[in-house]
A = this chain, B = another copy of it.
Amino acid sequence: MEVTIMLYDGITALDAIGPYEVFAATQQCNVKFVAKKKGIIKLDSKMGYLHADYSFSEITSADILVVPGCSPPNYKDPMNDEGTLNWIRKMHNTSKWTTSVCNGSLILGAAGLLNDVEATSHWGSFDILQSLGAIPTEERVVRQGKIVTAAGISSGIDMALQLVAWEFGEDLSRGVQLILEYDPQPPFDTGSIKKAPAPLIENIKMLLQELSEKEPNM
């Protein structure tokens, strides 16, 4: 099974590496990191890099397309780049699954793939998601037809485990979970806006808002 993970400057590393690790552990997926231009890709933190082994022109189809997210407002660059959006549309035409992690769904939306589609995103990006025609849905993994969107950053792991179950069966997904020793034990229980205290949510909202009002500078 061919899995293509789209990279771009300013990306959030875990959005890409979470699903990558799940698909790699199946030993039945050929995972490719693909970007507009191959080579090293700057992370949103400006403290490291991922690496695109292929350029858009080299990869024109995949069974699974994954579009990861980024710190605001880095999604603006791919959302405003017709080359990127056209490549996504072309990949989507023949994909079995078109997926996103975090605010990667905004990029799918900009490509016109989410009109009247139930979808999720990072909890801080629901307004923009709605403005792109999607029906924002507060679930960790939202599947509608062949479009699967996941919530913020870490949720790509859960989404990929679901995709493995759907494509290869539940036994392989269970095995991958054991290989990754994915038995999460977060020290607190504040990972969603349904659980975190209101003042904490307000603080993070302000931080994300301040970030989103800046210009992308990757």
Q: Which 8 A-B pairs have the closest CB atoms?
A: A152-B181, A183-B191, A184-B184, A49-B51, A183-B192, A14-B21, A24-B45, A17-B17
- On chain B, the residues within 8 Å of A178 by CB distance are 190-193, 196, 200-201, 204
A195 to B40, CA, bound (A): 39
Among A13, A31, A122, A204, which residue has the most Cβ atoms of chain B within 10 A?
Answer: A13
Q: Closest Cβ of chain B: how far from A146's Cβ, in Å?
A: 18
Task: A13-B17, A153-B182 given; name 18 further pairs at CB < 8 Å.
Answer: A40-B51, A49-B50, A51-B51, A102-B181, A152-B180, A154-B157, A158-B185, A161-B188, A174-B200, A175-B200, A175-B203, A177-B186, A177-B188, A178-B196, A178-B201, A182-B186, A184-B186, A184-B191
Binds B, one of A59-67, A83-91, A92-100, A165-173: A165-173
Query: In this assembly, does A75 line the interface, its C-beta being within 8 Å of a C-beta of chain B?
Result: no
For this chain, the copies found in one complex come to 2
- On chain B, the residues within 8 Å of A161 by CB distance are 186-188
Known A13-B17, A32-B47; contact A154-B173, beta-carbon cutoff 8 A? no
Among A158, A180, A183, A200, which residue has the most Cβ atoms of chain B within 10 A?
Answer: A183
Query: In this assembly, does A145 line the interface, its C-beta being within 8 Å of a C-beta of chain B?
Result: no
Interface residues of A in 14-47 (CB under 8 A from B): 14, 17-18, 20-21, 24, 30-33, 40, 43, 45, 47
Q: Closest Cβ of chain B: how far from A88's Cβ, in Å?
A: 20
- On chain B, the residues within 8 Å of A105 by CB distance are none
Contact check: which of B154, B175, B201, B203 meets A180 at CB < 8 Å? B154
Contact of A20 with B24 in the complex, beta carbons under 8 Å = no
A161 to B188, CA, bound (A): 9
Contact of A180 with B153 in the complex, beta carbons under 8 Å = yes
Some 14 contacts from A to B, beta carbons below 8 A apart, are A14-B17, A33-B48, A122-B181, A153-B179, A154-B184, A157-B186, A158-B186, A161-B188, A174-B190, A174-B200, A177-B196, A178-B191, A179-B204, A180-B191
